Structure 1
Amino acid sequence: MKVTVIGGSGHIGSFLVPRLVRAGHDVTTISRGTSRPYTDEPEWQQVHTVIADRQAEDRDGTFGDRVAALRPDVVVDLVCFTLESAASLVRSLRGEVGHLLHCGSIWRYGQSLKLPIREGSDSAAEPFGEYGIEKNRIALMLQEETARGGLATTSLHPGHIVGPGWHPIGPLGNLDPTVWQTISAGQPLRIPGSGAELMHHVHADDLAQAFEKAIARREAAAGEDFNIVAPTAFTVRGYADIAAAWFGHAAVLESVTWERFRENTSREHAESSWGHLYRSHCFSIEKAASVLGYEPRYEPEQAVFESIHWLIDHGQLHVARPLGVPAG
């Protein structure tokens, strides 16, 4: 099939696009052209590239028509963040394209109420924050579009995406690189809250696998939404303990109040920590496994270790001790 991937050179597309080429699809990517893929697979030589500024073209109402003009059978939208943008694309593709797949987020769910969180259940509170609210609105709109006989759509909602080439969400629920220096040196790591809060990661290639399988199983996937995460989730304390073992020692953790935690980190990192840990998410992948055949290869610690290893090897993360070999 002819597959167009919007945002194909980013975290997910870097793994998804080569998969689609290997599966025999004719792939076109649309991006701003400001970054290169994180993987250097030979399949990229077979990919058609279109340079476009989506934000600018959304403003003048031309982006959806640009995508439709490529006459794809399938469109994978990896970089849509507002209901207005999603709805505009749907209007342009309706009747022109066989399947639209949207990359959502587990932040479409608010604070966890019952675990694991399942699609369509009452196991999480309403979303909060602009990003999560918009992702939820998009997912609901897509379901309604398909239910009333319009465009066939599917939304996939990944956890905290991990992969070689970028920093993972760390044990404190933020992107502060000094956390890894602290852990590697065996110094006390101040953790807010109880340390039992949860985070659910996913390797970018496992997420790419889910998109590939949803494309292959369009009839089953149409009108559905799926949580796409690793088989298990981290607790804050567990994550820190596992990470410290990579550097040859146990984690040294100090529980502090949120007030004290905020006093000793930047506002950006503190807000990120609160956003991740207050939600305290853990998800079921039963629906994705049964409907799509989703089979994640990476446990969260394997995914994070791969990312940290890459960052250290490429001089993008400095730690106090050499990285060892993960257990198992």
Structure 2
Amino acid sequence: MQRNEATHTGRHLRICVIGGSRYFGRLLVERLYAAGHHVTVINRGTSRPPAGVEHLVADRDDEAALVAALGTRTFDVVVDQVCYTPVQAEIAARAFRGRARRYVMTSTIEVYDPATAELPATAPDTFVPETAVDPADWRVRTDLPWQDAAYLEAHYAEGKRQAEAVFTRDGGYAFASVRSAHVLGGGALEFTGRLAHYVDRVRAGAPVAVHAEPLPSVFIHYEELARLLQWAAAESEFTGALNACSDGALDVRDLVGTIAERTGREPVYETVASGGSAPVSPFSFDRHYAMSNSRAKQLGFRFSATRDWLPEAVDEALAGTHRQYV
């Protein structure tokens, strides 16, 4: 990996990445290091970072082990890729208090999902701004069974909302949360298998389960998200929430239509009733929470258009190793 001796800002920062083992997280680590920053990765040791990157092995859920691994290190910025609960946020807030000037948490579009919380209504023809979820006002419940994997999976959005709330209120550093849209691209690197789900079904002529009137959502390419996180960590000083999504909303039929064009196969749809118990494909939504990216643009970040990179992402999925979405 080529390492540059100058960054966009002219500063070489000490940056700690919690997680950063795969997909856009690993790409972020590679880009930060190549830009000349001193990068430290903390994970449980199941994956080593790129050569030249400092590696600390610790379980972030074990506060004593995390503090011991950190030693006397201090950082300009921490980028937390794997914070899912308020308990994890509280541990990190204590461990990095006095060690970091700025803390950036990777969050999610799911914080806006009206199916998981009572949120202000947003008209379907508008895009949801960051102010729709204010973590400063969000109730934190560390007594809930966040350590239970099934509970955490079922309450993913709430875990992220409460984690943001913990960091927002801590006040030990400047805090920013990057609320990512649905991430696509990279073929087999896209470990959730959601795009592969559609590619496989269209290619096999299998029915795709969709709502009768699916609502649009927003997406981002994994390379663009890595670039935005690099900008957030090393080239910007914003605080608070920031939506991260490429330009242009798509509904599930738009997505499948692109796959049909790339495969030359006619898609087959199976309509599922809204609010029912029948399973539906991963990007078919019967509720509106497509995000606005206007704040990031006002701060100087420029996004690509989803329709520009989606065909290549589909081609990568066609060439990659697919697995069924679960």
TM-score bin, normalised by smaller chain:
0.7 to 0.9
Question: In the TM superposition, what are the counterparts of 1:13-162 in structure 2 within 5 Å?
Answer: 13-35=25-47, 44-55=50-61, 57-58=62-63, 61-64=64-67, 66-67=69-70, 69-111=72-114, 113-114=122-123, 115-121=126-132, 129-146=154-171, 150-162=172-184
Task: Note the C-alpha offset of 1:279.
Answer: 4.2
- Give 1:271 deviation, angstroms: 7.0
- Kept in 2: contact 1:107–1:132 (CA 8 A): yes
Tell me the CA shift for residue 142 of structure 1: 2.3
Q: Is the 8 A contact 1:166 1:311 kept in 2?
A: no
Instruction: Give, in angstroms, the shift of residue 315 of structure 1.
Output: 4.0
Cα deviation, residue 209, structure 1: 1.7
Report what 2:257 is aligned to: 241
The normalised TM-score by structure 1 is: 0.75
Alignment partner, residue 225 of structure 1: 241
- Are residue 299 (structure 1) and residue 302 (structure 2) matched? no
Give, in angstroms, the shift of residue 65 of structure 1: 5.2
Q: Name the CA distance, whole Å, in 2 between partners of 1:133 and 1:105.
A: 11
RMSD: 3.3
Where does structure 2 lack aligned partners over 5 or more consecutive residues?
A: 1-12, 115-120, 140-152
Distance 1:73 1:176, change over 3 A: closer
Q: Which amino acid aligns with 2:189?
A: W
Are 2:189 and 1:166 aligned? yes
Which of the numbers 189, 192, 198 marks the counterpart of 2:216? 198
* Partner residue in 2 for 1:180: 199
Tell me: CA distance 1:278–1:168, structure 2 relative to 1, closer, same or farther (3 Å). farther
- Contact 2:202 2:260 (C-alpha < 8 Å) held by counterparts: yes
Structure 1 residues 160 and 300 mapped into 2: Cα distance closer, same or farther (>3 Å)? farther
Taking only the aligned residue pairs, the percentage that are identical comes to 24
TM-superposition CA deviations, 1:162-209 (whole Å, max 9, x none): 23133477xxxx838554233124x36343322432232211221122
C-alpha change, 1:7 and 1:168, in structure 2 (3 Å) is closer
Task: State the alpha-carbon separation in 1 of the partners of residues 190 and 223 from structure 2.
Answer: 16
User: Residue type of the partner of 1:131?
Assistant: Y
Residues 310/70 of structure 1: CA separation in 2 closer, same or farther (3 Å cut): farther
Which residue identity is paired with 1:286? S
Q: Show CA shifts across 1:201-231 (max 9, x none).
A: 2112211222222223554x13x11011111
Q: Distance in 2 between matches of 1:35 and 1:69?
A: 24
* 1:253 to partner: Cα distance: 2.9
Q: CA separation in 2, counterparts of 1:287 and 1:17? A: 25
5+ residue gaps, structure 1? 38-43, 263-269, 319-328
